[in-house]
Amino acid sequence: MIKEKSAPDEQVLTPEEIKARRTEITKFYKDQLPHLKVQAEYERLMTEIEEYRAKRLQAQAFLANAYETMENDEEAKTQEKPTDK
């Protein structure tokens, strides 16, 4: 059986110190919110850009396939016509 050892730097905090730490952590998180909101907006916009790029590429591929099909159909029609002599 493995025994867990506590870290040597671990301190036992008083209730007042715990409350102070919680306040400190809460303040830190609240201070970070504006930065995280900006980052979230950035990520959202980047995702939209990538989605539009993918849609554009898909449309280009569709048009290329349609054009190729039209060319192949025209070639097949010209090859099927018998020549009059």
Q: What is the pLDDT of residue 34?
A: 98
Provide the CA 46 distance to its chain's centre, in angstroms: 8
pLDDT at 84: 59
pLDDT surpasses 70 at 33: yes
Residue 82, pLDDT score: 61
Give this prediction's pTM. 0.56
Residue 85, pLDDT > 80, answer no
- Amino acid letter at 14? T
Name the average pLDDT for the chain.
Answer: 88
pLDDT over threshold 80, residue 1: no
Euclidean distance between the first and the last CA atom of the chain, given in angstroms as a whole number: 98
